[in-house]
Amino acid sequence: MQRIFAVIMVVALACVGACTGTAHAQQVKSEPGHFDFYELNLSWAPEFCSNLNTLSQQERAAENNMECRAPHSFVLHGLWPQNFDGTYPGECAYRPGPRNPERNLDMTPSLPLLKHEWAKHGTCTTLSPEAFFATARQAYTSVAIPDQLKKLDKEVMMPPDQILSMFYRANPSFPQGSFSLSCGNNRLTAVVACFSKDSVQPIACQGLRSCRANNVKITPPDNGSMIVQ
């Protein structure tokens, strides 16, 4: 189980830097509530699950990872406090997490990841655990996923700008610059959306860089078990 959780962290968390182009982002010490905006990270589940294929069936079963037992198109990796200068606060205070984290498995299908998200990011807000995940849900459900990605039935290659354009068309109220793309090894790994700190409304991202690949491959869902958002 520890090995699989390590894979989750390497595949998902490492992409915050190397995959989005924010490799130089720096975690800073900060008091809870001292940040500028929220970054919503939506992980592309098919690519994440394809990286678990190197693990044995027994190891995957031990993790009981719902993301890959009944995967979605995009799942919520996390809602992260960010600063306009590209830095971000992390692990700002010790506070117990939500009493019933399993209530959030429909958007983040991994209990270890939910606990990590609260400890590293949620504690940098002044919100209670329940309010933090309710805010994450508000932002998560406000993003419409383009139909082209919901209906994907084979691997395709697209320029990052084309993928972002699909998100802007699906979300006409989002301003330009409010989405960015994460990629790793020229493959789509996540889409990022930025939200205001207080009203949780979409805003242009600052201090983030989008995927710089000329084209990225998009791993298709497993149509036998895929549940789209």
For the chain, domain boundaries: 2-218
Whether 34 is a known active-site residue: answer no
Whether 77 is a known active-site residue: answer yes
pLDDT for res 174:
98
Query: Greater confidence, 42 or 18?
Result: 42
User: Please, which residues bridge with residue 79 across strands?
Assistant: 40
Over 50: is that where the pLDDT of 225 sits? no
Cα gap 69→91, rounded to integer Å: 30
Residue type, 166: M
pLDDT for res 18:
37
- pLDDT tens, 30-75? 999 999 999 999 999 886 665 554 444 544 444 445 445 555 679 9
- Answer yes or no: are the C-beta atoms of 80 and 87 closer than 8 Å: no
- Which pTM was predicted? 0.82
pLDDT for res 151:
84
- Determine the topology of domain 2-218 in CATH: Ribonuclease Rh; Chain A (3.90.730)
Query: Greater confidence, 116 or 222?
Result: 116
- pLDDT tens, 75-123? 999 999 999 999 999 999 999 999 999 999 999 988 999 999 999 999 9
The pLDDT > 70 percentage for the chain reads 75
Cα gap 95→126, rounded to integer Å: 11
Listed in sequence order, the residues at least 6 apart from 221 whose beta carbon sits closer than 8 Å to its beta carbon are 45, 46, 71, 73, 152, 228
Backbone region of residue 86 per phi and psi (left: phi > 0; alpha: psi in -120 to 50; beta: other values): left
The pLDDT > 90 percentage for the chain reads 65
pLDDT for res 51:
56
The least confident of 25-29, 100-104, 131-135, 186-190 is: 25-29
196: Cα separation from own chain's centroid: 17
**Average confidence (pLDDT) over 120-144:** 98
- Answer yes or no: are the C-beta atoms of 37 and 196 closer than 8 Å: yes
Catalytic residue among 39, 47, 63, 77: 77
Encoding tokens for residue 161? 């700008």
Select from 105, 109, 137 the least CA-distant residue to 122: 137
> Is residue 221 very low, low, confident or very high in pLDDT (cuts 50, 70, 90)?
confident
Q: Which DSSP string corresponds to 101-157?
A: GGGGTTTS--HHHHHHHHHHTGGGSSS-HHHHHHHHHHHHHHSPPPHHHHT--S-EE
Q: Which residue has the tokens 């989750």?
A: 8
Distance set, CA 213 to CA 37, 188, 189 (Å): 26, 10, 12
Cα gap 16→90, rounded to integer Å: 13
pLDDT for res 175:
98
Catalytic residue among 39, 47, 63, 117: 117
Catalytic residue among 116, 121, 130, 155: 121
Whether 121 is a known active-site residue: answer yes
Cα gap 9→24, rounded to integer Å: 18
Provide φ and ψ at 150, rounded to 5°: -65, -35
pLDDT for res 24:
52
Listed in sequence order, the residues at least 6 apart from 7 whose beta carbon sits closer than 8 Å to its beta carbon are 51, 52, 55
